[in-house]
Amino acid sequence: MHNGQYVFAHEPVRILCFEYLHGGNLESYLSDEEPCSPDWQTCYKIVKGLCEGLNYLHNGHIYHLDIKPTNILLDTNMMSKIGDFGISRIFPSTQTITTATMMGTMGYIPPEFIKKQEISPKYDVFSLGVIIINIMAGRQSYYDCGIVPSEMIIEHVCDKWQRRLHSTMSPQTWQEVIETCIRIAFRCVEDDRQKRPLIREIVDELNRIDIKTMSLTYEVLKIL
């Protein structure tokens, strides 16, 4: 009512619409002792998609700062998509900033943030490394990193995937890809962030190994 008269009032309503992802989140596919439950090609698609998504963000100087399995969402085709940008930050890629605010999730936070509250592009890279280890070897393997030599874990992971692949496809075709992925993961979780690769370097390395794998697959098919 206005001055005794009925009037129409228009109240704008803001609605956020999100894509529904039928695959749920990555956490539901992980195990403590064993590799991720899907087959290798699906696991690799998840890893590669996550790396490409992070590369897209970092190219725009956007840093997620809470990469973890529950924030990796999967569509019907098991393509990974990054969610929950609640604590993301934008800052120059050459800059390291400090904050008094606690952020991230324990187990995925790099040591420089725990000790000095420092944030840099290598923060997300550390979280990525933990996730790749979780996918390829199970959650427990990351916690074994501090007490078991990395080469021993790498050998164990490659052997485990080889045995899984024997029942579905030629393990030789994917052997180098598997070893490349787990070695990338261990470089990502280096305590010294200067030793961690940039996300674009990881994507470039995966692209190179993809080309090599396609070539090897073609040669195998020619023989058959």
**How many domains does the chain fold into?**
1
CA dist., res. 177 & res. 213, Å (int): 8
On whether residue 3 sits in a domain, the answer given is: no
On whether residue 20 sits in a domain, the answer given is: no
CB contact set of 164 (below 8 Å; sequence gap of 6+): 35, 39, 40
On whether residue 101 sits in a domain, the answer given is: yes
CA dist., res. 176 & res. 199, Å (int): 20
Q: Write out the catalytic residue numbers.
A: 66
> Which residues constitute the domain of residue 80?
26-223
pLDDT one-digit tens code per residue, 49-106: 999 999 999 999 999 999 999 999 999 999 999 999 988 988 887 778 888 777 888 9
On whether residue 21 sits in a domain, the answer given is: no
- The predicted model gives 141-158 an average pLDDT of 77
Angle at 41 between CA 74 and CA 45, to 5 degrees: 40
* pTM, full prediction: 0.84
Residue linked to tokens 């164990």: 156
pLDDT one-digit tens code per residue, 40-60: 899 999 999 999 999 999 999
Q: Closest Cα partner for 85 from 15, 31, 142, 16? A: 16
- The predicted model gives 185-191 an average pLDDT of 94
On whether residue 167 sits in a domain, the answer given is: yes
Q: In the prediction, which pLDDT does 221 show?
A: 47
Q: Has residue 27 got a pLDDT over 90?
A: yes
Q: In the prediction, which pLDDT does 82 show?
A: 96
What would you report as the CA-atom Rg of the chain, rounded to the nearest whole angstrom?
Answer: 21
On whether residue 8 sits in a domain, the answer given is: no
On whether residue 13 sits in a domain, the answer given is: no
Residue linked to tokens 């993301």: 88
pLDDT one-digit tens code per residue, 1-24: 567 777 777 788 888 888 889 999
61: domain CATH number is: 1.10.510.10
How far CA 54 is from CA of 20, 38, 64, 200, 221, in Å, comes to 21, 22, 8, 9, 34
Q: Taking the mean position of all CA atoms in its chain, how far away is CA 6?
A: 57
On whether residue 12 sits in a domain, the answer given is: no
Q: Taking the mean position of all CA atoms in its chain, how far away is CA 204?
A: 15
Q: In the prediction, which pLDDT does 202 show?
A: 98
